[in-house]
Chain A
Amino acid sequence: MIRSSQPGVRLRGLGKDYGARTAVGSIDLDVERGECFALLGPNGAGKTTTISMLAGVVTPTRGWIEICGIELGSDPYAAKVKVGLVPQEIALYEELSALQNLRYFGALYGLRGATLAERIDQSLEVVGLRDRTREQVKTYSGGMKRRLNIAAGLLHRPQVLILDEPTVGVDPQSRNQIFSTVRALRDAGTTIVYSTHYMEEAEALCDRVAIMDAGKVIASGTVPELVAAHTRDEVIIELGGDPAAVAEASRAACAGGATLHGGSLLHIGPSSRGLGSVIGGIEQCGAVVVRIASHQATLENAFLALTGRALRDEP
């Protein structure tokens, strides 16, 4: 049953256990059609398991998935036709040429003859890889392999494209090329689910972000929403003047949540009192504000606030 007004992806109570270990707890998510949605989290957060369930590669232990209104569990064939998967690994036959790879993967979706040739041509065009298509993939650079990996997921023109860590191990030029491809696909109306542990990719590419940790979605929304809800800009104040006054001002600021570094640097973080209140307290103590530097809050700060650790930390 297809409901045209349905989101591109809908997950309800989705979870996966491997024996006694829960890889993904229970996820509820909606990804609107034409939206680029990031699953952000450290290694082991459950992103790949979630994506694997979404692509029909792994059977969920609980919950259900809808792709463009089609429930994956009840009609996997119809749902899978609408999904393109770009696995985290370079999922290609390195001994074959790009053309041979794409012919094979296209045939899995029932493409053949002139249609297959046309789709191969278009997919290679999208990822900017029309040269050297008859050479063995093993002769390609890492970036070229990544782009070909994406092309193989585009052949059947999926309405939902799932990209699992698509820029791991690529050079900046290839990364920019992949970004351009993702933006072009989103602009063309493709729903994109983009898994990454690179904060800047989620910020640069995606309309909304779900932060995953330990198999759960711990927050979701647009990047500004997440930053506003879970962090705020940080300020560093350098104190000067009479040492006794500096010490008293520091004590007062720290009592309000600020932290002191090197005897004269006050760090005003998300949990501190407001900046005006802190500066007022400093002046009351007779100390002098020598310098003020501000740092804009980022998704990284929000992630730190939500999980208590940096994104690149191992789980």
Chain B
Amino acid sequence: MIRAVIAKDVGLLLRDRGALLSLFALPLVFILVFGSIFQEGPDRNEARPVAIWFAAGDARGAAIAGALAAAPGFAARTAGSPEEVRQLVATDAVAAGLVIDPDRDAAIELVIDLAAPLQARGPLEGALTAVVLRALVPAALRIEARSPPGRGPPRAQASAFQIAVPANAVLFGFFLALTVATSLGSERRTGVWRRLLAAPVLRGRVLVASLVPYFLIGIVQLGFLFGTGVLVFGMEVAGSVSALVAVSLALVYCAVSLGLLFASIGGSERQLGAFGSVVLLVMGILGGCMVPRALMPAEMQAIGLAVPHGWALDGYYDVLVRTGTGIAEVVPAVGALVGFGTVFAMFGVAWFRFEE
């Protein structure tokens, strides 16, 4: 029976352009757009232009200019006057500027757009401050960054696709729940569900058999998205592939269970589509699919773990970015996803109305 159900549902999926679009094409477009934007954007390992002015013969200014020129993240540009530095920043010709007053007791002026978002301004401001400090304080005070125990360092700087691929895989992977719910809704509307219940098969088996194909479709979807990420976009997998598979299986289980829960709530396919889309988008936003949770306030970061999306993204981040990540390291993420999925499934089964 399971084989027949799989053949039927795969046949239906292949003819459903809307479902194919939302499960495969749309996430790919989002990955391509977001990945390309940030791959080519200011956060890539390209030096950011910074203007500097200091008076001729000023030793402090020369030291800072030397440190700035040596810093890998910046391209120093010496200006002819303090006013030129300010104009260069005002016209966005440079990202920021430093004006070194020849008076050693005077403050060093950091010219930067204070109205820019903190997420954009903060790192630049902090980095330039560090460059200035590094030029002025003794070498003994220098700081070296290291990952804590249990947190493997990245193989290289995390690429934009290491963020964009899992974010969209999780966001659109959970949209599988909508496909599950509307499919069950359609079977009820068309009377097919009555035909299934009339067959000499246990009701629970009918329900499980209806869900199995979507589990397989979900695995194919994630395989397609991560495979494309690796082969087409050059996304690296720093951890083990088995850990990647474990997180993916748990995610698909959770998404299919959520679909069952949606279906048990009932309503027309249109109602399910509207309600489910909103719920899934909100969950995706809270979980960090749109904006990484690391950039959110602490409270929002905690709230992000109240939805499975947050755990799935944490798991994927560890697998894709941190070297040495294996099954053991993703146990919390997998456990949370399986836990969410089991709760969804329990409520879904309890509320599912076979005889509606």
Contacts and interface: CB of A to CB of B under 8 A. Distances in A.
Interface of A: 52, 55-59, 76-78, 80-81, 83, 85, 87-96, 100, 103-105, 107-110, 136, 152-153
A108 B11 contact: no
A56 B16 CA distance: 31
B1 A108 contact: yes
B195 A105 contact: yes
Contact of A93 (B12, B201, B355): B12
B53 to A, nearest CB: 70
A83 B198 contact: yes
Interface residues of B, number: 23
B194 interface: yes
B192 A81 contact: no
A56 B198 contact: yes
B8 A93 contact: yes
B69 interface: no
20 contacts: A56-B197, A59-B355, A78-B200, A80-B198, A85-B194, A87-B195, A90-B190, A92-B190, A93-B12, A93-B190, A94-B190, A95-B11, A95-B12, A95-B15, A100-B7, A104-B5, A108-B196, A108-B200, A136-B15, A153-B195
Nearest to B209: A108
A87 B199 contact: no
Contacts of B7: 100, 103-104
Nearest to B14: A95
A57 B197 contact: yes
A91 B16 contact: no
B117 interface: no
Given A58-B355, A95-B12, A96-B8, A76 B200 contact: yes
Contact of B194 (A57, A81, A104): A57
Contacts of B4: 103-104, 107-108
Given A100-B11, A103-B4, A80 B200 contact: yes
Contacts of B8: 93, 96, 100, 104
A76 B199 CA distance: 10
Contacts of A110: 200
A135 to B, nearest CB: 12
A87 B191 contact: yes
A108 B191 contact: no
B198 A85 contact: yes
